[in-house]
Amino acid sequence: MEVKLGPRFVHIVDDNATFCKTIGDRLKDFGYEVSTYPSAQHLLDRLPSNEVPSCILLDVRLPGMSGPELQERLIELGSTLPIIFLTGYADFPATVRTIKAGAQDFLIKPISSDQLLQAVDRALEQHDAARPLKSMREAFLSHLATLTPRERQVFELVIRGQINKQIASALGTTERTIKAHRSHVMTKMQVRSLPELVSLSDGLAFLHRAGQTS
């Protein structure tokens, strides 16, 4: 049975209206929803949601705020939408800079349909993979924020592999008190065992790295 996907959006930011229409029509023919913006500010004024499968086709040279500058602003705003940069000329330094900052791809105009669709498909696959990871990370950080300062100290020592006696000595308290703090930590972090707590914390470190490189 064929599985029908929900709407998948491509946001095109380019001041060339003819280019936007040509690329937009091409993408619509393949079933994508398309929105176009003549400047970076127009996109910021209608900031796309991270929760909808989407990507951004972004021209490097734009009136006012440039493409790389918009990329920086989107990162500051917490946008996780993959960005595919577009340019009319080869610019190796700009390519390296934007890719290091998290750009998904860098395409040189004119762009063939195959090249465009492959880049968009890759970007949307990346966004599909990143969205649940982001939700997991946010849930972990939300639980972590409920810990008291002392519980946070206990949590950090527990995940480093220290036993109750060592933690009690480090914090200048009793093992009984540490046991109580550990119990609170487990409840607040919504885990049932020490291995699960350690695994969860390792997962947070991984998700943090993934977020920096995606």
67-88 per-position pLDDT tens digit? 999 999 998 888 889 999 988 7
The CATH-assigned architecture of domain 146-213 is Orthogonal Bundle (1.10)
- Boundaries of every domain in the chain: 9-130, 146-213
Residue 195: its pLDDT value, please? Answer: 79
- Residue 6 to residue 42: CA distance in whole angstroms: 25
Q: What is the mean pLDDT of the chain?
A: 84
- Residue 162 to residue 85: CA distance in whole angstroms: 47
79-128 per-position pLDDT tens digit? 889 999 988 776 656 666 676 666 778 888 888 999 999 999 999 988 77
- The DSSP-derived string for the chain is -PPPP---EEEEE-S-HHHHHHHHHHHHHTT-EEEEESSHHHHHHTPPPTTSSEEEEEESS-SSS-HHHHHHHHHHTT----EEEEESS--HHHHHHHHHTT-SEEEESS--HHHHHHHHHHHHHHHHHHHHHHHHHHHHHHHHTTS-HHHHHHHHHHTTT--HHHHHHHHTS-HHHHHHHHHHHHHHTT-SSHHHHHHHHHHHHHHHHHHHH-
Q: Which amino acid is at 163?
A: I
The model's pTM = 0.61
Which of residues 131 and 64 earns the better pLDDT score? 64
For 58, other C-beta atoms within 10 Å of its C-beta total 27
Which of residues 100 and 181 earns the better pLDDT score? 181
**pLDDT class for 213, splitting at 50, 70, 90?**
very low
Residue 133: its pLDDT value, please? Answer: 62
What's the token pair of residue 140? 């972990």
Q: Which fold has domain 9-130?
A: Rossmann fold (3.40.50)
- Residue 214 to residue 210: CA distance in whole angstroms: 6
133-175 per-position pLDDT tens digit? 666 777 788 888 999 999 999 998 988 889 999 999 999 999 9
Residue 188: its pLDDT value, please? Answer: 92
**pLDDT (mean) for 57-74:** 92
Residue 152: its pLDDT value, please? Answer: 92
